[in-house]
Amino acid sequence: MLLREIKNIYELELKELYPITEIQSFFYLAIDFYLKLPRFVLATEPNLTITKEEEQPLFNALSKLKLQEPIQYILGTANFMDLDFVVDSNVLIPRPETEELVYWILEDVKKRSNQQIRILDIGTGSGCIAISLAKNLPQAKVYAIDVSTGALQIAKKNATNNSVNIDFIKEDILQIKSIAVDFDIIVSNPPYVRELEKMEMAENVKKHEPDLALYVPDNKALMFYEAIGVFAKENLEEDGFLYFEINQYLGKEMKVLLEENNFSEIELRKDMFGNDRMLKGVKSIK
């Protein structure tokens, strides 16, 4: 079959579910992953024909896309900070807004000396934050916590694939009291979507990404941030940094929470979409 005919089938069968630009992105990701063909191949070879054997994975992917399974889970890989990460339904798909949080941390660390620093990523999931920091900060010793055994298995695989050493710890931040390490930086992208906000989520997220990593009760929207704030008071060095990815609707409440936990120099930043998404605080000297 002509490859352009398969592209037309993708557009026809998915047009009720996704914007055309997203459908085309799915197609190009699929041909790159399964056939090692660049996205511009149809411009240079409009009559390119592929074999039945080569067609099969493209149509298998299309079937899953029609069920609104994320393309990253179908291919089993996602890109973050120019690194490749294995992903499956045990972990959230890394997002560009979270890249902005990592860039903020890197920007701040580069203003400091090159002495070794200790970083803790709480709720590491795929390990994208911890691994990206370790890759870009060879002087850092990076630790990562998650409550999910499945997520930690994926994160460990990603650390190996990206040639970094991370100390992974299976712990529930809602119960942990202390770790025998004082950290210079603590970062977390914990669950923060309230049940009342589920209706705003895309169907492919609601159906396929892990609830454990996404949702919090409406009446306990800041439960993870509260636990991390208490933990950071005991386990963060004086003048250490605490970074959060946050619910865009709760920026003011998050600033108050950090103030109550004795953090200063609190800064709230917007993401690329103009939403309050990132927060930083510095542990005050008592």
Amino acid making up residue 42: L
Domain range summary for the chain, segments of one domain joined by +: 3-67, 88-283
CA 104 – CA 176 distance, rounded (Å): 27
Q: Is 57 annotated as a binding residue?
A: no
Report the greatest alpha carbon distance in the chain.
71
Q: Is 190 annotated as a binding residue?
A: yes
> How many CB atoms are located within 10 Å of the residue 150 CB?
14
Classify domain 88-283 at the CATH superfamily level: Vaccinia Virus protein VP39 (3.40.50.150)
Taking only the tens of pLDDT, the chain with its 286 residues reads 999 999 999 999 999 999 999 999 999 999 999 999 999 999 999 999 999 999 999 999 999 999 999 999 999 999 999 999 999 999 999 999 999 999 999 999 988 766 789 999 999 999 999 999 999 999 999 999 999 999 999 999 999 999 999 999 999 999 986 687 889 999 999 999 888 888 888 888 888 888 888 888 888 989 999 999 999 988 999 889 999 999 999 999 999 999 998 899 999 999 999 999 999 999 987 5
Q: Is 240 annotated as a binding residue?
A: no
Q: Is 192 annotated as a binding residue?
A: yes
> Is residue 285 within a helix (H) or strand (E), and if so which, with residue range?
none
CA 87 – CA 77 distance, rounded (Å): 5
Q: Is 284 annotated as a binding residue?
A: no
Pairing of strands 263-270, 276-283: antiparallel
Q: How many helices (H) and strands (E) does the chain have?
A: 11, 11
Q: Is 123 annotated as a binding residue?
A: yes
* Residue 84, strand partner residues: 79
